[in-house]
Amino acid sequence: MIQKSGKLLIVDDDEYVRLSLKVLLDDSFSLIDNIPNPELIPSKLSSENFDVVLLDMNFTPGDISGKEGLKWLDWIVNNFPEVSVVIITAYADLELAVEAIRLGAMDFVVKPWQNEKMIATANAAYQLSQSRKELSSMHQRQRALGRISSLPFEEIIGRSAQIRKVFEAITKVAPTDANVLILGENGTGKELVARAIHRISPRNGNVFITVDVGAIPESLFESELFGHQRGAFTDAKEERIGRFEAASGGTLFLDEIGNLTPTLQAKLLSAIQNRKITRLGSNRSIDIDVRLICATNGDLTKMSQEGAFRQDLLYRINTVEITLPPLRERLEDIPLLISHFVLLFCKKYNRPNLKIPDHVIKKLQKYHWPGNIRELKHAIERVVILSDSDGLRATDFLFSETDKPQGFPLDDFNIDKLEHWAIVECMRKHQGNVSKAAAELGITRGALYRRFEKYGL
């Protein structure tokens, strides 16, 4: 079966011509539309992403000058430059053909046409349109990369001394090809740092590929990272390149590398040392050229001393180490992060911008944030979604008054204080899920809502 592709617009005042072309080209295009009046061209091209326009040159009875066709050809070329235009006319005028090509027509077909010629020309016009779109997309990506490169730390929010040290380290290591190991607790933004390094590196015009190596089953590790040949194992029904090969020329980010088993560590070390990989089921080695960035929330030095992580692999991946501070050690950045996430989620959920009172910020600065920035981000998102006021309230966050996540924080055993504390802690535990909290507290949802009112929660 012939694979249809592309969208074609036929513009001709002759109904028979429009019908004939539609029937002739139906096997080549997935969508064919037609109009008798060129005045409809702007609305058609604005509402549908056409690839090719077949344009008649004369629409006024008795006019054989082709001026109308040239006028609309010029309009299409200037307003939709990725669309390929093929001129069709009943008058074989060489000067008109030359003028049409000069203005940007892809080709010129004379009525009555030869079917094979028309099919070949229309298909060639489609291929030209695709090439133009790919080139335009590439230029857009390059412009976007240029904008991003001028703001390398746009996604990393903070002004604290700790985060400025991270910025300095990124700036120094990014222009090199050194392997980087990013250390930090979960939720501190290790992938954002990896992307910032790639963004201002000489490789920023190529791909950035991220892999959570700890989430790949050991049986699939080689296939995922190094690729496989067809028939290499039971489900290998087609040839597939691995992540190393796909990232060649760019940056490969291996997240949670501390979760690798000793066997997988050996295979990874071999690829890094030799800068070659071999697909499963193949004997041919493939050269790779990747900038390697790894990340972990574990202590690889301690793991190495205990024999849980290969020392030679550690030496290979940590030419430069960057350690990200937990959020509790950069409290002065919390107001900036709150403002950033409130604006982000108000826009995402079409909410008016919520006010952020100082007492709410101070309370959030007292919390220890075990999940770091990721936890703060999720907390803000939840509040923006559920808030029924014009500002953030301290009670919206379901945190206890202390910065300690566990243990009873009160100085006495007043029943109301005990109940208030239990409700707040249970709601925090279940991330605001009223049904689960009520079940654990041993009361109904209605009873829990009444207690919300009682305690102003």
Q: How far apart are CA 179 and CA 173, in angstroms?
A: 9
Q: With 80 as the cut, is the pLDDT of residue 94 above it? A: no
Most confident of the following: 65-79, 88-102, 175-189, 404-418: 175-189
Is 9 within 8 Å of 50 (Cβ atoms)? yes
| Pick from 63-72, 93-102, 401-410, 443-452: least confident | 401-410
- For the chain, domains (ranges, CATH) are 7-136 (3.40.50.2300), 161-325 (3.40.50.300), 327-397 (1.10.8.60), 398-457 (1.10.10.60)
Alpha helices in 110-242 (DSSP H): 115-150, 161-173, 190-199, 221-226
Mean pLDDT of the chain: 84
Q: Tell me the per-residue pLDDT of 297-344, one tens digit each, with 9 for 90 and over.
A: 989 999 999 999 999 999 999 999 999 999 999 999 999 999 999 999
pTM of the full predicted structure?
A: 0.57
User: Higher confidence at residue 219 or residue 73?
Assistant: 73
From 201, 290, 199, select the one nearest 250 (Cα to Cα): 290
What does the chain come to in residues?
Answer: 457
Q: With 60 as the cut, is the pLDDT of residue 290 above it? A: yes
Strand pairing class (276-278; 285-287): antiparallel
From 132, 174, 133, 167, select the one nearest 153 (Cα to Cα): 167
Q: How far apart are CA 144 and CA 150, in angstroms?
A: 10
Instruction: State the DSSP code for 40.
Output: G
Distant-in-sequence, close-in-space partners of 442: CB < 8 Å, separation ≥ 6: none
